[in-house]
Amino acid sequence: MYPYIPNTKDDEKKMLEAIGIESVDELFKDIPESVRLNRELNLNPSMSELEVSRYLTKLSQQNRTVNEMTCFLGAGAYDHYIPSVVGHVISKSEFYTSYTPYQAEMSQGTLQYIFEYQTLICDLTGMDVSNASLYDGGTAIAEAAFMAANITRRNQIIISKTVNPQYRQVLKTYAHLQHLEIVEIEDDGGVTNLEELKKQISDKTAAVIVQNPNFFGIIEDVKSIEEVTHSVKKTLLIASMNPISLGILKKPSTLGVDIVVGEGQPLGISLQFGGPYLGFIATKKEFMRKLPGRIVGQTVDVEGNTGYVLTLQAREQHIRREKATSNICSNQGINTLAAVVYLVSLGKKGLREVAIQSAQKAHYAFKQITKSGKYKPLFDKPFFMEFAVTSDISPSVISKKLLEEDILGGYSLEEDYPQYKNGILYAVTEKRTREEIDKLSSVLEGII
């Protein structure tokens, strides 16, 4: 017997009788003999909870966590504070053991929190419509690019090299499948090179993609990029945003962005070695029917009570098959709930406070680290909560020395940006203390 399989041998006997066969093996006789396995799988035999838990705990202890070390690493995943209430709500098994809410009358809980999620994303971004989420920040960019190509009937995408290198890799992988042309714009001192953008953009361009704050943590001049983008008729502006930054920065809608995407991990989702996270996408009403993925809408029941359903499904794969706007068939479900609970826990004041504290502490760290001149700012542009410095010391040496002092250092830039040799990108969230930042700068100062 196994803990998750209730039927006994006696049940089995009765069931076989009812079916009118002798053994379970008869139920598999339609599998051709020539392809049957006819041996045991080469895996361990079943184990008890205690044994499994002991083994996996041992594996987990071979990792060093951001609770054991002080984390100054960001580059797309951030160590923000997560209020306790988030974990408690997402652990409710009525939520996490349910399926996609196809049977609306029995899924009002899921449908309503997705509706709340869509409302919150629209509030943060200022856009008209949000879907129920996508896999992550990178695939959200790829989906937005396909969406723009579909809307404009053009096949060139321009993307700034100040966008997260992983997002650009995902975009290139997806783009190759549909023969979209990807043009990358070099950076100019850490921001998108506007002159090069002007040169490259044409009536072949479906969309321009930027990130704000960009991969280097710098706040881009989105308004100027928007002016260049929209100087060409129909070309769309896609911006990937850090949602925490929207606690203080201008809403992308007011900057003329057409499709807003981003990585929602900072909104109450733990680091968990890179996933699952949360991709968000929001756009203007005119592009609503071109959005990929699930969307929830409000309606009424036969008695006039308010309720929620999956809607605009004529865009989706289970109805439209090969004519769908995307193949995506899930959303990030329970992670969207985490984002909702995070955002409503903080509220308008809290999100602003997280953004401001992160910015204040990042600027303090920047000042401390660059004070002596041993580490020089790589760029001189305004940043939010991440900044890059450079020095004569190799990033691997710095990383090693910091680890010895239980500090998880920044992200080495030179692999993705060979021109920024010895460049390191540090992230500072509201979680860091002055003491931790001072320790970082003093350890850095002592590295030879």
Partner 1 sequence: MRKYDKLIFQLSREGRKAYALPKLDVEEVKIDELIPAEYISDEELKLPEVSEVDIIRHYTNLANKNYGVDTGFYPLGSCTMKYNPKINEDMVQLDGFKNIHPLQPEETVQGALRLMYELDKALCEISGMDKMTLQPAAGAHGELTGLALIKAYHENRGDTKRTKIIVPDSAHGTNPASAKMAGFDVIEIKSTDEGLVDIESLKAALSDEIAGLMLTNPNTLGLFEREIVEIAELVHEAGGLLYYDGANANAILGKVRPGDMGFDVVHFNLHKTFSTPHGGGGPGSGPVGVKKILMDFLPTPTVEKDGDRYYLNYDVPHTVGRMKDFYGHFSMMIRAYTYILMMGKDGLNRVSDVAVLNANYLASRLKDYYNLPEDTIYKHEFVMAGLKSDLSEVTTLDVAKRLLDYGYHPPTIYFPLIVHEALMTEPTESESKETLDEFADVLIKIAEEAKNNPELLKEAPHYTSVRRLDETRAARDPILKYEG
Binding residues among 263-322 for partner 1 as defined by CB under 8 A? 263, 270-277, 288, 294-303, 305-309, 311-314, 316-322
**Which helix (DSSP H) or strand (DSSP E) does residue 390 occupy?**
strand 386-390
Site mask for partner 1 (CB under 8 A), range 93-132, x = bound: xxxxxxxxxxxxxxxxxx-xxxxx-xxx-xxx-x--xx-x
Gyration radius of the chain's alpha carbons: 25
Q: What is the DSSP letter of 252?
A: G
Specify the residue, 216 or 411, whose C-beta has the smaller distance to partner 1: 411
201 or 281: CB nearest partner 1: 281
Task: Please report how close the Cβ of residue 226 comes to partner 1 at its closest, in angstroms.
Answer: 13
- The Cα 286–Cα 236 span in angstroms is 12
At its nearest, how many Å lie between partner 1 and the CB of residue 199? Answer: 26
Instruction: Decide: is 200 part of the binding site for partner 1 (CB under 8 A).
Output: no
Write the interaction track for partner 1 spanning residues 219-258; mark x where CB under 8 A is met and - where it is not: x---x----------------------xxxxxx--x----
Q: Could you say which residues in the range 329-388 bind partner 1, by CB under 8 A? A: 329-335, 337, 340-341, 343-354, 356-357, 359-361, 363-364, 382, 384
Q: Which residue type occupies 241?
A: M
Site for partner 1 in 1-40 (CB under 8 A): 2-7, 11-12, 14-16, 18-20, 24, 26-32, 34-37, 40
Q: Whole-number minimum distance, CB 233 to partner 1, in Å?
A: 27
Contact 246, 264 (CB under 8 A): no
Q: Cα–Cα distance between 30 and 51 in angstroms, integer?
A: 37
Closest contact distance (angstroms) between CB of 337 and partner 1 is 7
**In degrees to the nearest 10, what's the CA dihedral of 106, 109, 112, 113?**
-140
Q: Which of 42, 153, 233, 373 binds partner 1 (CB under 8 A)?
A: 42
Please name the residues in contact with 44: beta carbons below 8 A apart, sequence gap of 6 or more. Answer: none
Which residues have a Cβ under 8 Å from the Cβ of 384 and sit 6 or more positions away? 213, 217, 218, 219, 242, 245, 249, 355, 358, 359, 362
- The binding track of 173-192 with respect to partner 1, each residue x by CB under 8 A or -, is x--xxxx-------------
Residue 411 lies near partner 1 (rule: CB under 8 A): yes
Does the footprint of partner 1 cover residue 172 (CB under 8 A)?
Answer: yes
Is 205 among the residues that bind partner 1 (CB under 8 A)?
no
Euclidean distance between the first and final Cα of the chain, in Å? 62
Q: What does the alpha-carbon distance between residue 31 and residue 19 come to, in Å, rounded to a whole number?
A: 19
Rounded distance between C-alpha atoms, residue 332 and residue 348, angstroms: 24
Q: How many residues bind partner 1 (CB under 8 A)?
A: 203
Interface segment toward partner 1; rule CB under 8 A; list 83-91, 181-189, 232-240, 369-377? 83-91
Is residue 328 part of the contact set for partner 1 (CB under 8 A)? yes
Which pair of tokens denotes residue 287? Answer: 């592009």
Element (H, E) at 82: none
State which residue, 37 or 233, has the beta carbon closest to partner 1.
37
**Do strands 191-192 and 187-188 pair parallel, antiparallel, or not at all (unpaired)?**
antiparallel
- Assess 404 for contact with partner 1 (CB under 8 A): no
Secondary structure of residue 356 in the 3-state scheme: helix
Is residue 394 near partner 1 by the rule CB under 8 A? no
237 Cβ neighbours under 8 A, 6+ residues apart? 207, 208, 210, 225, 226, 229, 230, 256, 257, 258, 259
In the bound complex, what is the minimum distance in angstroms from residue 320's beta carbon to partner 1?
Answer: 7
Residue 211 near residue 261, CB atoms below 8 Å: no
Q: Which CB atom, from 173 or from 202, has the smaller least distance to partner 1? A: 173
397 binds partner 1 (CB under 8 A): no
Interaction residues for partner 1, span 44-63 (CB under 8 A): 44-47, 49, 52-53, 55-63
